[in-house]
Amino acid sequence: MEKIILTGDRPTGRLHLGHYVGSLKRRVELQNSGEYDKIFIMIADAQALTDNADNPEKVRQNIVEVALDYRSVGLDPEKSTLFIQSMVPELTELTFYYANLVTVSRLQRNPTVKSEIQMRNFETSIPVGFFTYPISQAADITAFKATTVPVGEDQMPMLEQCQEIVRKFNSVYGEALVEPKILLPSNSACLRLPGTDGKAKMSKSLGNCIYLSDSADAVKEAIMKRMYTDPLHINVADPGHIEGNMVFTYLDAFSNQAQLEAYLPGYANLDEVKEHYKRGGLGDVKLKRFLINVLEDELAPIRARRAEYEKDIPAVYDILKKGTEAAHEVAAKTLSEVKAAMKINYFDDVELIKAQSEKYQRN
Ligand code: ATP
Ligand code: MG
């Protein structure tokens, strides 16, 4: 069986460190590993509209931002198909048929959707489109027969929902769909990167992000002025806490041994740094400077590549256009297989027409 990746992002803002460790970085590694037959990366504008219906301009403006972020982290159109969701109408059609295989109560149980509804104050008035976006995600994944979906932990319920839809479809209509597997980050600190404010998830919608395209000064300011550490660690000599301390969470997610030796010499490993902090005598500013260096190692090359790609925006759109055409072809093929399996391919079902002619000739 072919190894196929499908994943993507909502164009609701520029991409941030959470996206990077949760999915983007892995995608680039998988892309360059040569182990996958096909890689589809989708800018999920239709999904973004499910909770931004009154603000299409925001979605429209952010398509190019996400595409620039893709290019600057190293997604390569020669190896990955980059495309725009709404321009592949087959995805909408698949969603419509899959919706018949899912119950309202099953959707209500989805913990990610539940918390997102709360976050958006949708409790009393959930847009139907938003409520059903896990079904549309199942359409996105299955349209490309994806076997692997590299995403952050918040996407686990979406993948489970998708697997259920595939099983249900295949058992009702015959084996037409491929069941995908989730690929979570291997580093546990990256499963769900918290925001700089210490809130459970770095998220565009919460305004607690460090963006991949932030300037070096903006990153420095976010860390020095806004990053949540340990409110009980007032003087350097005070014993400190690691749990819930974002500086350590980010160091767990981003730093390596070589960086420790270069930027914070005198410790054998990060655990020793943590022990020192817990005992007292290690200041937040020193740690924050270390983190700034660590992040700059990662972000400076991304920023530099972005500046280059920003010089030719038509080329970015051209990549999306070509990718969308290619994606469209694949999705159209799957949709026709799905319709054949469901026996709603009336015009090209020779057997149906023949059997019915015979039936009516006899009468
Ligand atoms: P929105 O607030 O508009 O939903 P978002 O910041 O949650 O935006 P998405 O576009 O929904 O971003 O997510 C895209 C991908 O990035 C998904 O695979 C998701 O799991 C991953 N991701 C997003 N935020 C984080 C995070 N803080 N930690 C790890 N992975 C993340
Ligand atoms: Mg999200």
Cβ–ligand 1 contact at 201 (below 6 Å): yes
Per-residue pLDDT at 306: 98
Structure tokens at 135: 């079904």
SS (H, E, C) 174-223: CCCCCCCEEECCCCHHHCCCCCCCCCCCCCHHHCCCCECCCCHHHHHHHH
Structure tokens at 45: 């504008």
Rounded to whole angstroms, the Cα distance separating 86 from 318 reads: 16
Per-residue pLDDT at 8: 97
Q: Which ligand is nearest to the CA of 52?
A: 1
Nearest to 327 by CA among 72, 96, 145, 97: 145
Report the run of H or E that residue 133 belongs to, with start and end: helix 133-143
Q: Which ligand is nearest to the CA of 55?
A: 1
Q: Which ligand is nearest to the CA of 158?
A: 1
Per-residue pLDDT at 206: 81
Nearest residue (by CA) to ligand 1, atom 6, is 203
Per-residue pLDDT at 21: 93
Q: To the nearest 10°, the Cα dihedral for 355, 359, 360, 363?
A: 170
pTM recorded for the entire structure: 0.95
Per-residue pLDDT at 122: 86
Cβ–ligand 1 contact at 50 (below 6 Å): no
Cβ–ligand 1 contact at 284 (below 6 Å): no
Per-residue pLDDT at 170: 98
Per-residue pLDDT at 130: 96
Residue that is written with structure tokens 């590549």 in the block: 305
Residue type, 338: V
Burial class from Cβ neighbours inside 10 Å (0-12, 13-18, 19+) for residue 138 reads buried
- Ligand 2 centre and the CA of 179: distance in Å? 22
Per-residue pLDDT at 113: 93
Helix (H, G, I), strand (E, B) or coil at 158: helix
Per-residue pLDDT at 207: 82
Reading the chain (363 residues) residue by residue, the pLDDT tens digits are: 999 999 999 999 999 999 999 999 999 999 999 999 999 999 999 999 999 999 999 999 999 999 999 999 999 999 999 999 999 999 999 999 999 999 999 999 999 999 999 988 888 899 999 999 999 999 999 999 999 999 999 999 999 999 999 999 999 999 999 999 999 999 988 899 999 999 888 987 788 999 999 999 999 999 999 999 999 999 999 999 999 999 999 999 999 999 999 999 999 999 999 999 999 999 999 999 999 999 999 999 999 999 999 999 999 999 999 999 999 999 999 999 999 999 999 998 898 999 999 999 976
Residue type, 190: C
Nearest to 98 by CA among 43, 57, 135: 135
Rounded to whole angstroms, the Cα distance separating 142 from 108 reads: 22
Per-residue pLDDT at 363: 64
Per-residue pLDDT at 269: 96
Residues pairing with 182 in the sheet: 149
Per-residue pLDDT at 119: 85
Structure tokens at 78: 């020669």
Cβ–ligand 1 contact at 145 (below 6 Å): no
Cβ–ligand 1 contact at 146 (below 6 Å): no
Nearest to 75 by CA among 309, 272, 351: 309
Rounded to whole angstroms, the Cα distance separating 99 from 38 reads: 27
Cβ–ligand 1 contact at 26 (below 6 Å): no
Contact between residue 341 and residue 110 where contact means Cβ atoms under 8 Å apart: no
Contact between residue 270 and residue 215 where contact means Cβ atoms under 8 Å apart: no
Cβ–ligand 1 contact at 14 (below 6 Å): no
Q: To the nearest 10°, the Cα dihedral for 164, 5, 295, 236?
A: 20
- Ligand 1 centre and the CA of 152: distance in Å? 7
